[in-house]
Structure 1
C-alpha cells in the first residue's frame, strides 16, 4: 500500500515527496496547485478542510496536514531511514526548533505574500508594500537561523535530515536563492549540497527544476 500526497510541483509538498523518495516508500501525488483557483482547492477539500497543500493520506487512511508535522511524523514512522535525530539525541531539540521555526516564521509569510489582496484588497501601493516587507521579513528570518546554526556537511552536522530537505525547498521560493545566499551563506552551501544529492537528481528535475528565476546563482 502506498501514501497519497496532495501537492504540486514547486510547492510545500516537495520536501515530503523527497523524504518519501529517500525512504524508498511508494506514493502517488494528486496534483493540486491550489493557487490556480477554486477547482484546484476543491481537489484538496476532502483531505484538508483548509483546502491547502500539502496533505498526506497514509496507507491506513489517516490524513495528516502541515508540512513540518508530516515530515516529523515520517521520520518517526520510518526511523531506519535516519532522516532525523532520534529522541534523546543531543541534536533533537534544535531539530524540532528549526522544523517549527520554518513554518511559523517563514512559510506562513506566503499566505500573505502570494495574494496580498487578501489583506488590502485592490490597493496596488499597499500590495507592493506587503510584497517588499514580506521579502524583508523572510530574509531576516533566514539570517537569524544562519546566526544560530553551525552547519557541518548538513545543517545539524554530518547527517542529512528532513530539515535539510525543508530548507532546500523553501529557500527556492521568493525572494529566491540569490537573496538567501546573501543572508545565509553557510546554509547556502548546505542547500547546494542537498540540490546535488545523486539520489534526488531525477526527483528535482521532475518536481522543482532550477530554471528561469529559480536558477541558483553560481
Structure 2
C-alpha cells in the first residue's frame, strides 16, 4: 500500500466499512469533500495490519491523508480538525461559542472512555493471553461501555433535536456510529434513552442515506448486532 501524493482538494481515508473511519467518512460526505477510500481491516489479522503500516506506523485505522499530504490519525482528532477546517458545513461549535467546551468534552470522552475499549475487544490476547479468561474480559468491557453510555446520557442534557442544538454535528455522527458497536443499539436505547432519538434521527438523515447503504448498511438484525 503506497501513500498517496498531495492533492489540493482530495482526502484519502483508510478504514473498512463500519469501522472508526465511518464517522469521518460521514462527516466528509456532509462537508461535500472529495475523498478516496482505502478499505483495510487491521483487526482481521497481521496481514491487514501490515497493509496499513506504511501509512500509519500504529497499524491502526482510521488514518486520513489531508490534501496537503499530512497524515492524521485518531478519530476524535480528525473529526475535531475537520469541523474547524470546514466551518461552512456547520458541524461543530466555533471557538468562542458557548457550546464549544461541551463539544470538546464529549468528543474526547467518546474516544477515551468508549472507543478505547475496542482496542482490546478486537484482539483480546493483547491484554488477556489466557483464552479461558477472554470471555469474562469481553463481558466486562461490554458492561463498561454500557455504563459509559449511561453516564453520558445522564449529563448531556435534553437534545434539541441534536446533542448540541438544532443542527446535526460531529458529536452526533460519532455517537451514532459508536452506538452501533457492542453492546449494540438495542441496549444503547435502554442505557441512553435521551440520546436514542438523536441517533435514530441521524440514521434517517436523507443526506446520509446513500452513505449508510454503502458503508454501514442497516441489515436485518443490525440493532441486535446480528447480520
Q: Secondary structure at the match of 1:206?
A: helix
* 1:123 to partner: Cα distance: 2.8
Matched, 1:122 2:130: yes
1:215 and 1:136 map into 2 onto residues whose CA distance is 17
User: Which consecutive unaligned segments of at least 5 residues does structure 1 have?
Assistant: none
Pick one of 147, 164, 167 that aligns with 1:140.
147
* 1:215 to partner: Cα distance: 3.1
Pick one of 173, 179, 185 that aligns with 2:181.
173
The equivalent of 2:32 in structure 1 is 24
2:122 and 2:59 map into 1 onto residues whose CA distance is 16
The equivalent of 2:208 in structure 1 is 200
Range that drifts further, 29-38 or 62-71: 29-38
Equivalences for 1:93-132 in 2 at 5 Å?
93-124=101-132, 126-132=133-139
The alignment's TM-score, normalised by the length of structure 1, stands at 0.96
1:180 and 1:22 map into 2 onto residues whose CA distance is 25
1:42 and 1:59 map into 2 onto residues whose CA distance is 24
2:13 and 2:50 map into 1 onto residues whose CA distance is 15
Seen in structure 2, the aligned counterparts of structure 1 residues 83 and 216 have a Cα distance that, compared at 3 Å, is farther
* 1:41 to partner: Cα distance: 1.2
1:69 and 1:213 map into 2 onto residues whose CA distance is 32
The alignment's TM-score, normalised by the length of structure 2, stands at 0.92
The answer (yes or no) to whether the contact 1:210–1:216 under 8 Å persists in 2 is no
Superposed CA RMSD in Å reads 1.3
The answer (yes or no) to whether the contact 1:34–1:41 under 8 Å persists in 2 is yes
The equivalent of 2:20 in structure 1 is 12
